[in-house]
Amino acid sequence: MPGCAEEHHQSVLHPAGPAAETIEWLWWLLFWVCAVVLVVVTVLTLWAIVAKPRARTGEPQLGNGFIVISGIILPSVILVVLLIFSLQANLRLRIPETQLTVRVIGHQFWWEIHYPDHQIITANEIHIPVGVPVKLELRAADVIHSFWVPHLHGKMDLLPEHTNFFWFQADKAGVYRGQCAEFCGVQHALMAFNVVAMEPLEFERWLEAQKHPPPPPMDEVLQRGQRAFFVHGCNTCHAIAGTEADARIGPDLTRIGSRLTIGAGTRVNNYANLSGWVANPQPIKPGNLMPPSFIPPEEFHALIEYLVSLR
């Protein structure tokens, strides 16, 4: 599937930015320390089971010193050391100075994306420049969701009526898959998104292009498709910049044609999948808010052509 970060589809152990690297480092520290403790305790337990009681062999008993050192002092030292490294990691995960803010609003079951400083609204896809920390303002429109891009950072909840601040940074261009990480209803599992990390110049070009709505369709088929969009009520839920459609119930479709996926990461975005989705999204993602459409074939295909042309 396009939209994968190479061979690691979603992995906290293949960090692509400083925040995820910090978490990975702490993960491995905890893993190895706990692994060593487990091995030592297992060996001692087996030894205690197998060895003959010292009372019978006549060897001196292990004194209280052994219990105090290995039962109290050693575990305390290990826990304090781990605590210090955890606190240090916490400091490194604080939100740094950022130039770019992205607002993410969680909906059942998709992601509304705003670039508040640039008056850009999109959905289910976050474009960011490589090597730059990005501040995230997270909020929910309905129930609690959780924002998670394993390659870039840990999880952060999106709450109704409260904004959580978060950040991430990608150090390598690529597409990183994100996923809602808090059960939010029947389609929680199909609430994904993509983070597209671009070289800074490419990102500037992308940002600039987003500021201008797509030109009105000149082609006859596309014009018919645009009319169908209004006649059949798509505009009651969706917005397309540069047209009169400005509803915010469903995802903004201004550049739907350029997105990698449809249905919040549910399907690859192509003509066939988009047709299936518009015709009836319920079998694909049961419980989402979009009803099936009943549009005559010719108009339907013009509508899909029009949506595909929105780039």
Binding flag, residue 264, ligand CUA (CB under 6 A): no
Q: Please select the residue that binds ligand CUA; options are 20, 102, 175, 191, rule is CB under 6 A.
A: 191
**Nearer to ligand CUA (CB atom), residue 181 or residue 196:** 181
Give the C-alpha separation, 231 to 296, whole Å: 12
Binding flag, residue 259, ligand CUA (CB under 6 A): no
Q: Please select the residue that binds ligand CUA; options are 3, 17, 18, 106, rule is CB under 6 A.
A: 106
- Using alpha carbons, list the distances in angstroms from residue 209 to 29, 189, 213, 259: 44, 32, 8, 14
Residues contacting residue 234 through CB under 8 Å, at least 6 positions apart: 228, 245, 253, 303
**Nearer to ligand CUA (CB atom), residue 125 or residue 305:** 125
Binding flag, residue 238, ligand CUA (CB under 6 A): no
Binding flag, residue 180, ligand CUA (CB under 6 A): yes
Phi and psi at residue 77, to the nearest 5° = -60, -45
CB count in 10 Å sphere of residue 294 = 9
Residue 145 Cβ vs ligand CUA, minimum distance, rounded to whole Å: 3
Residue 142 Cβ vs ligand CUA, minimum distance, rounded to whole Å: 9
* Sequential DSSP letters for 228-286: HHHHTTGGGT-B-TTSS-B--SS---TTGGG-SEETTTTEE-SHHHHHHHHH--TTTST
**Nearer to ligand CUA (CB atom), residue 181 or residue 304:** 181
**Nearer to ligand CUA (CB atom), residue 180 or residue 308:** 180
Q: Please select the residue that binds ligand CUA; options are 188, 255, 267, 285, rule is CB under 6 A.
A: 188
Phi and psi at residue 61, to the nearest 5° = -65, 155
Query: Letter for the amino acid at 101?
Result: T
Residue 256 Cβ vs ligand CUA, minimum distance, rounded to whole Å: 21
Restricting to residues 120-179, name those near ligand CUA by CB under 6 A.
145
**Nearer to ligand CUA (CB atom), residue 175 or residue 191:** 191
Residue 13 is given by DSSP the state T
Residue 170 Cβ vs ligand CUA, minimum distance, rounded to whole Å: 22
Q: Computed over its alpha carbons, how large is the radius of gyration of the chain? A: 26
Residues that bind ligand CUA (rule: CB under 6 A) add up to a total of 9
**Nearer to ligand CUA (CB atom), residue 184 or residue 310:** 184
The three-class DSSP label of residue 287 is coil
- SS3 for 105-149 is EEECCEEEEEECCCCEEEECEEEEECCCCEEEEEEECCCCEEEEC
Residue 183 Cβ vs ligand CUA, minimum distance, rounded to whole Å: 6
Residue 188 Cβ vs ligand CUA, minimum distance, rounded to whole Å: 3
Residue 259 Cβ vs ligand CUA, minimum distance, rounded to whole Å: 19
Q: Please select the residue that binds ligand CUA; options are 112, 125, 182, 252, rule is CB under 6 A.
A: 182
Binding flag, residue 184, ligand CUA (CB under 6 A): yes
Which strand (E) or helix (H) includes residue 27?
helix 18-50
Query: Letter for the amino acid at 245?
Result: A
- Using alpha carbons, list the distances in angstroms from residue 122 to 3, 26, 292: 17, 34, 23
**Nearer to ligand CUA (CB atom), residue 147 or residue 229:** 147
Q: Please select the residue that binds ligand CUA; options are 28, 32, 66, 183, rule is CB under 6 A.
A: 183
Q: Which residues lie near ligand CUA (CB under 6 A)?
A: 106, 109, 145, 180, 182-184, 188, 191
